[in-house]
Amino acid sequence: MALSKSRADVLAAQKNDDTFEGLFDELTWRGFVSVSTDKEALAAALNGSEPITFYCGFDPTAPSLHLGHLVQVLFMRRLQLAGHKPLGLVGGSTGLIGDPRPTAERALNSRETVAEWVASLRSQIECFLSFDGDNAARMVNNLDWTADLSALDFLRDIGKFFRVGTMIKKDAVAARLASREGISYTEFSYQILQGYDFLQLFRSHGCTLQSGGQDQWGNIVGGIDLIRKAEGASVHAVGTPLITNSDGTKFGKSEGNAIWLDPQMCSPYAFYQFWLNQADADVVERLKIFTFLSRAEILEYEAQVMADPGARAAQKRLAFEVTALVHGEQAARDAIAAADALFGRGFFDSVPEELLRQATSDLVSVAGEESITVGQALVATSLVASLAEARRVVAQGGAAVNGVRVADVADLVADYARGRRIVVLGRGKKAKAVVVFD
């Protein structure tokens, strides 16, 4: 995920909003705090002058982070900007087990696959945090303290602090116990491993705060209880909201609609379009969480949504900011150029060919010879039903190739391509298709 600016420049431009009384107030206003331990104690710790060490864990159940993980990383970054010390944990051991899902047992990935995904996630997380200065971020892997842990030590030194009655009340566990398939001891033990992570980081790094998605709250509380029982200490936790649309639709890998941060899994153009297509009811909340715009700027966009929703100014700013954050400013500008070209507001020559392929990946596509005519291409892509219809459309000025109006149905598509291997056919303002030359 290379950035157009250096990573140091991007991070240096980020800041929290000093119009809030303290960090906790800003986190609450932005919607990062869905559930937490004692709010007064937590606010005192986050707003205080003494930095605390905190962590968030990411399990390598896929080769990339997704939208939900981005919430966690941005939460970490905001705490770091306030002077606190982040620990990014990638679960080399918990990734071998898998957090239980409410529906079915996870397929266990090989150790080699998990190790590859650990490295991939680690490199992505490192793009969003600063590893310089007094509160430099550090990356940790829970395989380091569990790989040599024997089963007897695990049961005697950790398992004894957990109560089965409490463990079976966790939502995912309860759902699985009520199902025909049930739950394996492997997945049932996951919450103990996650709790042990918090204890280990408390002991080795003085970590006193864990953050995670609100769906992880049961596991997070297990770690808090473990530290209280094993060390007699009190620690903090924050559960961030799950990202859903205003209609309650959730985004995530298990729902099959994850928005991945890896450009090979979700192209920068598709990523940009996702944010651009946010509903008016959702866009302001997205600006709060996913951008570093100030409160004043966001309130201005909120007013614009109310006054002129058709302009979609908030969505455009959101799409640019988040795409630039994840993929770099140039990728965001390229995505805008591609969208403008496709919808008649720009020029195809300004769009990199690979980006044009990304932007048209959902369109009907046919392979074309150099001799293919516009009429033949219109028929082949089903933009028209026949050559006779193609003649009528062209005669009425309704056909275009790469944004240029076609003069004659017998024109060669290649003559409009200007050496490019991919061209976009258009019928009218909306109907599009693609011809790709070998």
Q: To the nearest whole percent, how much of the chain has pLDDT over 70?
A: 95
When pLDDT is averaged across residues 333-341 and rounded to a whole number, the result is 90
- Domains present along the chain, CATH in parentheses: 7-244 (3.40.50.620), 268-359 (1.10.240.10), 365-437 (3.10.290.10)
Q: Is 99 helix (H, G, I), strand (E, B) or coil?
A: coil
359 contact partners, CB below 8 Å, separation of at least 6: 267, 269, 335, 338, 339, 342, 351
The token pair that represents 83 in the structure block: 């002077």
pLDDT of residue 95: 94
What amino acid occupies position 119? A
Residue 17 corresponds to which amino acid? D
Q: How confident is the model at residue 159 (pLDDT cuts 50, 70, 90)?
A: very high
φ/ψ (deg, to 5) at 343: -105, 20
Going by pLDDT thresholds of 50, 70 and 90, the confidence category of residue 349 is confident
Q: How far apart are CA 127 and CA 400, in angstroms?
A: 42
pLDDT of residue 406: 92
Split at pLDDT 50, 70, 90, the class of 230 is very high
How many percent of the chain have pLDDT more than 90? 74
> Scanning the structure block, which residue is given the tokens 């937590």?
42
- Whether the CB-CB separation of 284 and 302 falls below 8 Å is answered with yes
pLDDT digits (tens, 9 = 90+) for 34-63: 999 999 999 999 999 999 999 999 999 999
For the entire predicted model, the pTM comes to 0.90
The per-residue pLDDT for range 249-289, each reduced to its tens digit, is 666 555 456 899 999 999 999 999 999 999 999 999 999 99
- Tell me what pLDDT residue 161 has: 94
Predicted pLDDT of residue 270: 93
> What does the block give as tokens for 2?
């290379």
pLDDT at 2: 39
Which pLDDT belongs to residue 257?
65
- Classify residue 154 by burial, with Cβ atoms within 10 Å: 0-12, 13-18, 19+: middle
Mean of per-residue pLDDT scores for the chain? 92
